[in-house]
Amino acid sequence: MKKATQIAIFSCAVLLVGAVAVAKSVPYWFAPLMDNPPQVDITDPELIAKGQYYARVADCVACHTAPGGKAFAGGLGMQTPLGAIYSTNITPDPETGIGNYSYADFERAVRRGIRPDNVALYPAMPFVSYMIAKDDEIEAMYAYFMSAVLPVKQDNQVATIPWPANMRWPLAWWQLIFAQPREFEENPSLTAQQNHGAYLVEGLAHCGACHTPRGIGFQEKSLSNNDSEQFLAGSVLEGWYAKSLRNEGVGLAIWSEEELVEFLRTGRTHHTAAFGSMSEVVEKSTQYFTDTDLHAIASYLMSLPPRKGYAANWQPTEDTTTAKLRSGNITEPGEIIYVQECAACHRMDGKGAPRVFPALAGNSIVFAEDPSSLIQVTMAGGKMADTKHDMMAFTMPGFYHLSNQDLADVLNFIRNGWGNHGSEISTRDIARMRRVVDHAPTHYVPHENVNVPQFSSIVGGASHE
């Protein structure tokens, strides 16, 4: 028995050493540097301007900028099941950023998720989406980052993931399994406009990074609608539920194409508003999209069929809530809390005020199959996107101070009021979200890097956010 145990331990050790050795070699043969990289003119104003736009589409600034910090200097904390990771400095600082990256280094990191030192990036970086970006887009982004982004000397913050989970070599195996090279494939059943929208959604805009369910390896279960109907079917990240973007009852079936364009441009419609991470996406990224790109994305998303077993349409039940509240016969705990805390903004009829206070009646976030976002925005509050198209960026206060029971009562009232109908929220659901809010990562912003200009003036008309 002792000898058998020794053999088993020795065999495991040999397998582990072999696994590490293979993983260390993966970047060299699985994602090698380009053989003949192009000579990118990083001083070309037209190329820089294009790169700025593509960087907007890719939403680089939102992830690589901590609240209150310098643009692209990193430090944004992102919570994972194992601990917090922090976005890195991608300014052209030669010591702490990417100032020493050649174009081949840049292309390899963006498309294949490998650093110049041959270490794999965490899959929080959506390189599996960026992989399908066109060469001219990557080249333009390189010119922009090297010439129009202000260099910032700011060290990268170390992740809080504990050992041994923080070891990087297993990420190479992750890439072998989940990040195989691919190209965009047009769907012959779609229009040219819809295929362009699909290219943006699957690629630089990387909508699936938030809206596609993740598997056991934290991989997106599908990278395109050609692969699976799980694509853009909704997912929870950091306690926010990124809703289904498919044309189904709990997704976009109650939206029109024009409403979707307006939402991506301004962060709101007359009926609803972006919140949480989506508010940042609109503020930092989609408000700058061209009309052509916005309409292409909307047209493509509206073409996605519902998943099997999901209703193609959503219909409200009869609204008995408005009359009950206006009658003054308010007896149930959820009703009482709503009148005390919510009705001043969202009104007795649950319709709010167009473009100011989002409606609750018929709002798909309210009756979404997963109520995580509804719970978190109620508990922690949220701010509307502040865009050049609509300057009314109101902030919803948080109601963290309410008890778990009170929050469950009022949210169940809202979730099933004014014709809405959704599953019940329990006090256990509230307690789980309270832990998420309590353990939100602290962003890393050195004192000397607070409240400073975020963009250089090399590109005419560049935004100074």
pLDDT by residue (tens digit) across 60-111? 999 999 999 999 999 999 988 888 999 999 999 999 999 999 999 999 999 9
Dist CA 465 CA 462 (whole Å): 9
The CA–CA distances, whole Å, from 170 to 165, 219, 442 equal 9, 14, 26
**Rounded Cα–Cα distance for residues 154 and 432 (Å):** 35
What percent of the chain is predicted at pLDDT more than 70?
92
Mean pLDDT of 42-51: 98
Q: Give the integer Cα–Cα distance in Å for 383 and 244.
A: 22
Segment 254-282 mean pLDDT:
93
Residue 269's contacts (CB-CB under 8 Å, 6 or more residues apart) are 259, 262, 263, 355
* pLDDT value of residue 461: 34
* DSSP-based three-state secondary structure for 456: coil
The residue among 249 and 297 whose pLDDT is bigger is 297
> Which CATH number describes the domain made up of 192-303?
1.10.760
Give the separation between CA 63 and CA 9, rounded to whole angstroms. 43
Average pLDDT over residues 299-313: 94
Average pLDDT over residues 324-349: 95
User: Given pLDDT bands bounded at 50, 70 and 90, which one contains residue 462?
Assistant: very low
Q: Which one, of 210, 240, 203, 199, lies nearest residue 379 by Cα?
A: 240
DSSP bridge pairs for 236: 241
Least confident of 16-20, 224-228, 433-437: 16-20
- The answer to whether 253 and 306 are in contact (CB under 8 A) is yes
Look at residue 465 in the predicted model and tell me its pLDDT.
30
What are the tokens at 335? 């009703």
Residue-averaged pLDDT of the chain: 91
The answer to whether the predicted template modeling score (pTM) of the entire model surpasses 0.85 is yes
420 — pLDDT class (breaks 50, 70, 90): very high
Residue among 51, 220, 72 at smallest CA distance from 133? 51
| pLDDT higher than 60, residue 402 | yes
- Answer whether residue 417 shows pLDDT above 90: yes
Q: For residue 134, name the pLDDT band (cuts at 50, 70, 90).
A: very high
| The one-letter amino acid at 422 | G
Max mean pLDDT range (233-242, 427-436, 448-457): 427-436
| Amino acid in the structure at residue 379 | M
- For residue 61 the two structure tokens come to 């600034």
The arrangement of secondary structure in 321-438, i.e. its CATH architecture, is: Orthogonal Bundle (1.10)
